[in-house]
Amino acid sequence: MVAVFPGGRNNDRGSAGGGCESSARESSTPDPEPTQERSKSFSSVWKPVWYTGWHTGVLACATSVAVVLFINIGLIIYGRTMLKHEVESGSRTLYSGSCAKSRTIGLWLHLVINALSTLLLSASNYTQQCLAAPTRSEINTAHARRRWMDIGVPSVRNLFKIKPERTLLWIAIGLTSIPLHLLYNSAVFTSVAANEFTVAVVTNNHFEPGAYSNLTEALTNYLLMPPTATAWVRDRYNIEVFSGVLKGYQASPDSYEDLTPSECTKLYNTDFVSSHRNLFLITKDSSDTTHNNTLLDMIGVWGIGGVSPSSWMCAYSLAGEGRVYRETSLPCNPSELTSNVTSGFPWRVKLTTGEEVEISGCKSERTPEKCTVQLVINIMIVVICCNFVKVCCMVMAIARSREPTLVTLGDAIDSFLRAPDPSTIGICFANRPYIKREWSHGGWRAEPRQWKQKGVQRWWTSVSKTRWITCIFFCSIIIIAAGVSLRLGMANEGKYWSTDLKSMWAKGFGKANSVSLVGIDFPDILSMIFFANLPQTILSFFYITYNSLFTCMLLGREWSLFGYHHCTLRVTSPGPGQRSTYWLQMPYIYAVPLMTLSGLLHWLTSQSLFLAVVDLQGPLGQGTPIPFFAVGYSSIAITFVLTLGVLALLTVVGMGYKRFAAEITTVGSCSAAISAACHASWVDTEEIVGKEMRWGDVGIAPTLGVRHLAFSSEEVRKPVFGEVYAGAVRQRG
């Protein structure tokens, strides 16, 4: 379990006898957070419930979730009271202005959102593990029916054997996580302002007083085109629009700035032009030499199409015919044209009339940028409701769960040593596979057996096949989905521009453009949001299973330390000679990187697949911008997700090949196997639990005539291959 919340008070007895020292093969201290079952823990002396066992950790979880709740409530209050502008989608504008600044704000807000969602997920996982931890009476009931329970790890198996109240709380916490991951990242989104504009090609004396300009004559070919070929033009760009642009310049020439061809191509070589609008391309020719009209040609360019809007720069004639945005391959690359013009090559444009002219300069209309950062109020209300339910469930878990539970390994060892379980007598070195095999047949053969384990086991043996398969399944989904998405995305983008790493990096994370759009027709915005956030839910399941896998391996590591040297029991409610813990099964050295990995994956995924919103403004700048909604993707962000997914898989497999500290049974999280190893029959267990102890060969049992494996505070030796061992047959009265 992730180690971010305290789990109990520190009652270590000092450095001299306070715990397990590092082994030769394991450089860090033992890790788990146990909850012990002691008959005198809560019966003799009443303690406030939040001071005992794992309740402190859950209280910290509830506090952190409450802090997130107040942050979300504060944000929605700010959005509803301080921000007045509301758009049709039910969102409020957090910021309006510079597109670069809006992208930066959106990037950081999504980083904060994913950090908060990771905190919620971690707190939920922590609380669910504590709720699913069994009490000793529940374990006794399960063992009597030849069923075992999980100890020290997140468990679904236990839900069918614990009290219904704790099961319902577990389910409620889990269910409220689903809407959070499906909606939270879409609570904030950025919209890009895209100006539709006209491009007019004029002679170099067009702006002189008295220069001859005939719009009708310049657009003769445009007007004579068949209706079927020009319907899209007539809908959006007509003579009135073109005329309005020309008159607009005459009315306010100061709003235009002069640009060189190099500056012009750089400025308009973008998907969405936000800071400029209409453009005049000035040729080297004058009307009194080559042409009898200063206005040579005029086309319209809109913001969204199948190809980058900047493609008009290298396919001007196709844009004039309305075909450039439906072409799958263009005669040139606008980025390549920009590079050539910047290097000093001439910029030649082929007009719709078939004539080719050279551009000597430009005049571009300046406009204020109106990119926005939006807060969706309805989504935030759903998030707050789920957040509130989580807080209530965690508080109820603290208030209602008063019976001590065996949360981790030390608690189970302490409980089974104090009160040995008669159902596991006679199998002192039973492991999880043995319990599963023998108990499935309704019992076992409790006779002496040979120790056949040779060599130290590896970490992966402490994890069940089901957990391995589940974790690798979700990890494979991430890798395959990211790989396929990247391949399809690069194939789509490769039709229009370069797909090398440098080009993908230049397009940025979570940045909408006209090409990198998912080619699916969505019925409404809500379906787009669900589709864009579906990977977030998969990542949450991956984190839970990945965390569970590490928890199981670290539990096995701690168990193996008892076979290497003497250790003090680490429990959640420590007694004399015991020590407490501030985490569950996973120490900070593992927990913090896992939480960082989860938060980073969630954030990168939010930048890989996202709701793309573009506000289209007409060339005359009048009326309300028309919003365009789609699901966009970022190839560079997907590349990072793919890389992290592969690293996560390699890491967990590599960790699985680490060796344990000593030769010892592989009990995993199996309660029956742990119980079987805790039968110290002829020794006073009260003397053992308060001291450092070690598991191993304790000698010949007085009543058996064969050797016995158990915990002892005295010197023990490691099990010998081929030696016959048996469990205790007598319990202390």
| Residue 190: partners with Cβ closer than 8 Å, 6 or more residues away | 102, 103, 105, 106, 371, 372, 373, 374, 613
CA 261 to chain centre: 44
Measure the CA–CA gap between 573 and 38, rounded to whole angstroms: 9
Instruction: Report which residue type is found at 716.
Output: V
What's the mean pLDDT in 601-613? 90
Report percent pLDDT > 90 for the chain. 25
Which of the four pLDDT bands, split at 50, 70 and 90, describes residue 315? confident
Mean pLDDT across 249-270: 89
Mean pLDDT of 691-704: 77
Residue 275 has pLDDT above 80, yes or no: yes
Whether residue 329 is predicted with pLDDT greater than 90 in this model: the reply is no
Going by C-alpha positions, the residue among 398, 549, 526 that lies closest to residue 470 is 549
DSSP string, 266-330: HHH-SSS--SEEEEEEEES--TTTT-S-SEEEEEEE-S--SS-GGGGGT-HHHHHTT-GGG-SS-
Distances (CA, A) of 144 to 132, 439, 614, 678, 731: 19, 11, 64, 17, 17
Among 58-62, 218-222, 348-352, 728-732, the minimum mean pLDDT is found in: 728-732
**Reported confidence tier of residue 654, pLDDT bands at 50, 70, 90:** very high
Burial class of residue 681 in the structure, from the number of CB atoms within 10 Å of its CB (0-12 exposed, 13-18 middle, 19+ buried): buried
Query: Is residue 411 a contact partner of residue 571, using CB atoms and an 8 Å limit?
Result: yes
Q: pLDDT at residue 71 above 90?
A: yes
Q: What is the pLDDT of residue 444?
A: 57
Q: Number of H helices and number of E strands within the chain?
A: 22, 15
The four Cα atoms 354, 360, 361, 362 give a dihedral, to 10 degrees, of: 0
**What pLDDT score does 45 carry?**
39
- Rounded to an integer, the average pLDDT of 496-514 is 74
The pLDDT of residue 581: 65
What integer pLDDT is reported at residue 88 of this predicted model?
52
Type of residue found at 669: S
| pLDDT-derived band at 702, boundaries 50, 70, 90 | low
> What is the structure's pLDDT at 165?
92
- Hunting for tokens 């397990």 — which residue is that? 20
Environment class of residue 87 by beta-carbon count within 10 Å: exposed (0-12), middle (13-18) or buried (19+)? middle
Average pLDDT over residues 25-53: 42
- Residue 53 pLDDT > 60, yes or no? yes
Lowest mean pLDDT: which of 2-16, 364-378, 386-400, 694-708?
Answer: 2-16
Question: For position 701, what pLDDT does the model report?
Answer: 65
Would you give the DSSP letter of residue 332? S
Q: Which residue has the tokens 């590092």?
A: 22
Q: With 70 as the cut, is the pLDDT of residue 301 above it?
A: yes
pLDDT at 305 over 90: no
**Cβ count within 10 A of residue 289:** 10
User: What 3-state DSSP class applies to 165?
Assistant: helix
Q: What integer pLDDT is reported at residue 166 of this predicted model?
A: 92
Q: Which helix (H) or strand (E) holds 381?
A: helix 377-400
Q: Does pTM top 0.95 for this prediction?
A: no
pLDDT digits (tens, 9 = 90+) for 146-191: 889 999 888 898 998 999 999 999 999 999 988 888 888 888 888 8
Higher pLDDT, 222 or 74: 74
Over residues 386-412, the mean pLDDT reads: 89
**Do 569 and 576 form a contact (C-beta atoms < 8 A)?**
no
* Mean pLDDT for the stretch of residues 131-145: 91
- Residues 30, 560: Cα–Cα separation, whole Å: 10
- The per-residue pLDDT of the chain, averaged, comes to 80
Question: What are the tokens at 96?
Answer: 């309006």
Run of H or E residues at 358 = strand 356-366
Query: Which pLDDT score is estimated for 695?
Result: 87
Q: Which residue has 């060969």 as its token pair?
A: 697
User: Cα angle at 129 between 126 and 134, to 5 degrees?
Assistant: 145
In the predicted structure, residue 86 carries a pLDDT above the cut 80: no
